[in-house]
Amino acid sequence: MNVLLIGGSGSLINSLIIKFKKEGHRVYLLTGTRQDKAPYQKVFERYNFPYDCACLNEIFESINMDLTIFLGAYDTNYKWKHEEADAVQYSSGLMNILMSYAMKNKGRFVYLSSDEVYSLGSDENLTEDMPPTPMGVRNMLLAQAEEMCESYRVSREKDIMTLRLDHVYGIPKKRSECRDKCSKMCLEAFDSKKITVNENSRFSLLYETDAVEFIYRVSVADMHAFSLYNISSCNEKAEPEIAEMIKQYAGSDTQILSLPGEKKRIVLSNERFINEFGKQYYCNDQNIIKTIVRTMQLNKPAFWNDEEKKKGIIERIFDRGGWLLKAMIPFLENLIVFIPFFMINNRTADSKYFANLDFYLLYVLIFAIVYGQQQAVFSAVLATIGYCFRQMYDQTGFELMLDTNTYVWIAQIFILGLVVGYMRDQITMLRRESKEEKEFLSGQLGDMKDINSSNVRVKDALETQIVNQNDSVGKIYSITSALDQRSPEEVLFYAADMLSNLVKSKDVSIYNVVNDNYARLFSATSKKARVLGNSVKYKEQFPEMYEVLANKKVFINRKMEENLPMMANMIFDDDGRPLIMLMIWTLPWENMTLGQANQLVVISALIKGAVVRSTRYLQALQEKRYIEGTKVLEPEAFGLLLNAFQNAEKNGLAECVLVKINMKDGSTLKGVSDQLYQHLRQSDIMGISDGGLRVLLANTTMVDADFVMKRFEKIGIDSEIVEDGIVCLRPDRVS
């Protein structure tokens, strides 16, 4: 299944990535930012695009996802320092994601909400039917996001779910990750050795790992009755109780300050979830809190206060006042340049060569061209001051005010500055717009190139998987098809060896189902794979495993019970009757996934034809090639079976013992065989070899053969073991 996870980097999304990969799904990631260095777990393909990018539709089209999970309330891309601005970005981002998902028209969409939609407490657990009571910008936005998802679900008829998580907390690695109530209380104890609590506040904690398990369970479910589920531990705790746990590990010098705050109890009800998806299991809150406190104590620099406190005075002044200095630079530059122009103008005022040159005009023109209207006006004001100052050398201020030349010159200098400055600003604006458009189109082109290169990588990876990967369908088929080249007597033996290679396990066994209750060992690749013995009452001994196999599903030993295989599957005939059980006894924990189970189903289906044909052949061989009136196989038929068992024994796939029956004078083949048949197992075979009666004891060691031979002695039949074609009785092996 193709799974798209959407959200910023953090422990929650990393845990989701690990979970879905472990279960055999292909995970894609949309980070929501252009930054490509964020610490994420490795995924199949990663897209570093913001949520409002225009190419989101192309990304969804390329992924062709079956499941989309948006972290929503737990998206770390939103810091919520400026709530109004973040609220606008959050709403537009979610809208763009929902529209792109709706246009794709495939798969399920899961939105993660939070208990924060409830700001008012309740004496009862809050169910999904109770309307949200948000207070504050963030809380109101989360409630509106839930309504937006529900509106899309109803109007577009899409499979959209909202999961409301109750007080999720995790183990932070640095100060910025302390976002939940529990880690904030631990951080407060770390900073000041004090924990301030509301003695009337009560809530339940949900550890991050548990939350991931529940999210996965709901997300991959085939059907669901509701569109909104609360995910909660319902393990209610008071703030002072949690503070006492923190104090226990943070040190006895930690003080707890209890304040008689407003009575507030927020516990989400998980009854709807339990009724539909079964019982839940939880991590121990006390152990997790202990780990959080120990993590902070062992990694103190990562949880120190803001780095601003470690900066010097000059650095802090520059950080806080830098913007003002940058804004003043053009004005300071204007003042500095005005001084030489003022001096030059005064020096050339009485010169017969330069008297007609207006240096102030040149000065204003320069700043109008370089900086635009704003600095042109400022330079014109300075030039006017300089001009008036120079004119007052020869006349009074009153005369200067009455002189029309003064106003003509001022008008000239301002008109020139404003016009040139305006033209410069317009040209700059056109260039900026052109540059922005070019950057936008270049960004679009870059996004398309990134998506295309991503598609190429995905295509190449899938081609490589199909052609070369060990667990690809093509590879499995090429291996399983080799069974058709084996003789019917050898198919079941080498099916075990083939299965061992495909699942990368040294311990594999194959059992023939004899009747509705018994299964007999036919082939095994190791001693450990024979741990159940030669005969198994699978219904009585392993009812839990049988219940799964009877429903034609793969059994996975998630409880790690020693007497059960790690994974098992049953092959049925066309009429639905069980024929063969495949058991895998050793398998790494990371391979006990849904993907590995699906692979076992594919392998079983591919080998079914060869196994069924061989089973029917062997049954026909035993039924049609008996010596008339007996249960003894003719020499040719017995020889084929004997060679198959002996070759399998040499390859470590089976154990067998050949026993020679010494017939007494006057005894008949029918009489002896009828006596023997009553004391043999169904898997044992009688036949004629080297002119005498032989018994092939299947899946039997020398020690086990001794017990069989003693049973023969009790009914008056003498027997000897045949090894490598030589009749021998070896007491050191059978005693």
Q: Measured between alpha carbons, how far is residue 433 from residues 425, 427, 437, 438 in Å? A: 12, 10, 6, 8
* Mean pLDDT of the residues in the chain: 80
Q: How much is the average pLDDT of 213-241?
A: 89
Going by their DSSP bridges, the two strands 236-238 and 201-204 should be labelled as: antiparallel
Among the listed ranges 205-219, 369-383, 430-444, 560-574, which one has the minimum average pLDDT value? 430-444
Q: How much is the average pLDDT of 196-223?
A: 88
Give 327-367 pLDDT, tens digit per residue: 777 788 888 888 888 787 766 666 666 656 677 788 888 88
Q: Taking Cα atoms as reference points, which of 292, 103, 105 lies closest to residue 180?
A: 292
Give 379-397 pLDDT, tens digit per residue: 888 888 877 777 776 677 7
Q: CA-CA distance, 256 to 197, in Å (whole number)?
A: 7
Residue 10: the pLDDT is 86
Of all residues in the chain, the percent with pLDDT exceeding 70 is 84
Q: At what angle do helices 239-250 and 181-192 cross, to 10 degrees?
A: 50
Among the listed ranges 18-22, 413-417, 586-590, which one has the minimum average pLDDT value? 586-590
Q: How many residues does the chain have?
A: 735
Among the listed ranges 98-112, 226-240, 344-358, which one has the minimum average pLDDT value? 344-358
Task: Tell whether the model's pLDDT for residue 474 goes beyond 60.
Answer: no
Query: How much is the CA Rg of the chain, to the nearest whole Å?
Result: 42
Residue 475: the pLDDT is 54
Residue 229: the pLDDT is 92
Q: How confident is the model at residue 731 (pLDDT cuts 50, 70, 90)?
A: very low
- What residue type is assigned to position 708 of the chain? V
Task: Tell whether the model's pLDDT for residue 173 goes beyond 60.
Answer: yes
3-class state of residue 125 by DSSP: coil
Pick the more confident residue, 5 or 560: 5
Q: CA-CA distance, 694 to 632, in Å (whole number)?
A: 9
Q: CA-CA distance, 704 to 386, in Å (whole number)?
A: 120
- String of DSSP letters for 29-84: EE-SSS---S-----SEEE---TT-TTHHHHHHHH--SEEEE-GGG-TT---SSHH
Q: CA-CA distance, 728 to 589, in Å (whole number)?
A: 46
Kind plus residue range of the DSSP H or E element containing 218: helix 208-219
Residue 734: the pLDDT is 37
Residue 707: the pLDDT is 82
Pick the more confident residue, 670 or 160: 160
Kind plus residue range of the DSSP H or E element containing 293: helix 285-298
Q: How much is the average pLDDT of 572-580?
A: 81
Residue 161: the pLDDT is 93
Q: Which residue has the tokens 């495993």?
A: 545
Give 259-279 pLDDT, tens digit per residue: 877 788 899 998 898 888 877
- Claim: this prediction has a pTM higher than 0.85: no
Task: Tell whether the model's pLDDT for residue 651 goes beyond 50.
Answer: yes
Residue 353: the pLDDT is 62
Spell out the domain ranges in the chain. 2-309, 313-439, 483-621, 625-734
In this structure, CATH architecture of domain 2-309: 3-Layer(aba) Sandwich (3.40)
In this structure, CATH architecture of domain 483-621: 2-Layer Sandwich (3.30)
Determine the CATH number of domain 625-734. Answer: 3.30.70.270
Residue 371: the pLDDT is 80
**Spatial contact of 693 and 722, defined as CB atoms under 8 Å apart:** no
Q: Which residues contact 702 (CB under 8 A, 6 or more apart)?
A: 657, 721, 730, 733, 734
3-class state of residue 688 by DSSP: strand
Q: How confident is the model at residue 163 (pLDDT cuts 50, 70, 90)?
A: very high
Task: Tell whether the model's pLDDT for residue 249 goes beyond 90.
Answer: no
Q: How confident is the model at residue 629 (pLDDT cuts 50, 70, 90)?
A: confident
Residue 450, token pair as written in the block? 């990134």
Task: Tell whether the model's pLDDT for residue 558 goes beyond 60.
Answer: yes
